[in-house]
Amino acid sequence: MTDKTNITLTINGRDHAIAVEARRTLADAIREDCGQTGTHIGCEHGICGACTVIVDGEPVRSCLMFAVQAADKKIRTVEGLAKDDTLHPMQQAFMDHHGLQCGFCTPGFLMLAVGVLEREPHISDDDLLDVLSSNLCRCTGYANIIKAVRAAAEEMRK
């Protein structure tokens, strides 16, 4: 399993030419080959969602996708959310509503919420709860995450 394939990953608008084994997950490639360690790995079996990134507009679990599958696609990670010195409304809302404690699950929640709201800006509260239930947080008890995402949704619709 050591044959490597040359691919280009486009992360937050920047190209990374890397050589990866076919089995390398997108999560590992983003973190180790491209040095973007803001994306975290919590379970490597697709349950916790800490590794969620946006690929071609869709939130995906980067531990369940191979790096080669993401070649030439547009990948967005937490590092690309803020524009210059201005935080994305979702980042600001997580701070304002205390939607994080240890911060380990936070990048995954941010990318999940941003990805879903860009696709569905008028998502209902029930559907939003369903979507947010796909990631795990062990610190907050979720109430403040939900509050933050609702507040950011309003901001993003402006």
Partner 1 sequence: MSAPETKGSGLKWVGRAMRRVEDPALVQGQGRFTADLPATHWVRFVRSPNAAGKIGNIGKPGNAMVITAADLKGVKPITPMLHKFSYKPVAQPILADGVVRYVGEAVAAVVAPSEEEAEDIAELVELAIDETTPVIDARDALKDGAPQIHAVAPGNIILEGKVKTNGFDAIWTSAAKIITIDARSHRQNATPMEARAAHAAYDATSGRVTLTCTTQMPHLMRTAIADVLGMPESDLRVIAPDVGGGFGQKMSLCAEYVVVVWLARKLKSSVAWTEDRRENLIASFHSRDQYITLEAAFDANAKLLALRADVVSNVGAYSCFPTTSGVEPLMAMAEMPGPYDVQQYQCLARGVITNTCTMAAYRGVSRPVITFTLERLMDKAATAFALDPIDIRRRNLIDKFPYKSAMGLEYDEATYKETLEMAVKAIDVPAFRARQIAARAKGQYLGIGFATFSERTGYGSPAFAARGMEITPGWETVILTVDPSGFVEARIGSSPHGQGLRTTLAQIIADEIGVTPDVIKIVHGDTDTSPYGWGTFASRSLVISGGATLIAAQKVRAKLIKIASHMLEVAPDDIVLADGLAKVAGTDRSVTIAKMAREAYTQTHRFKGEIEPGMTETGTYDPPGTFSNACHVAIVEVDIETGHTKIERFLVAEDAGRIINPMIADGQVVGGIAQGIGNALLEEIIYDEGGGILTANLADYMPPTASEMPPVELHHIETPSTQSITKAKGLGEGGCIGAPAAVVNAINDALSPFGVQIDEIPATPQRIRAALRAAEKAARKTA
Q: Which residues bind partner 1 (CB under 8 A)?
A: 1, 21, 23-24, 31-32, 36-45, 47-48, 50, 77-79, 81-82, 87, 91, 94-96, 98, 100-107, 110, 129-130, 132-146
Which DSSP letter does residue 18 get?
E
Q: How far is the CB of 44 from partner 1 (least distance, A)?
A: 6
Q: Which residue, chain included where needed, has tokens 């609702």? A: 150
- The closest of 158, 31, 152 to 81, measured between CA atoms, is 152
Q: Is the CB of 71 or the CB of 108 nearer to partner 1? A: 108
Q: Is the CB of 19 or the CB of 43 nearer to partner 1? A: 43
Q: Show the DSSP H helices in 20-158 as ranges.
A: 26-28, 89-96, 106-119, 125-132, 143-157
Q: Is the CB of 38 or the CB of 72 nearer to partner 1? A: 38
Q: How far is the CB of 62 from partner 1 (least distance, A)?
A: 13
CA distance linking residue 92 with residue 58, whole number of Å = 22
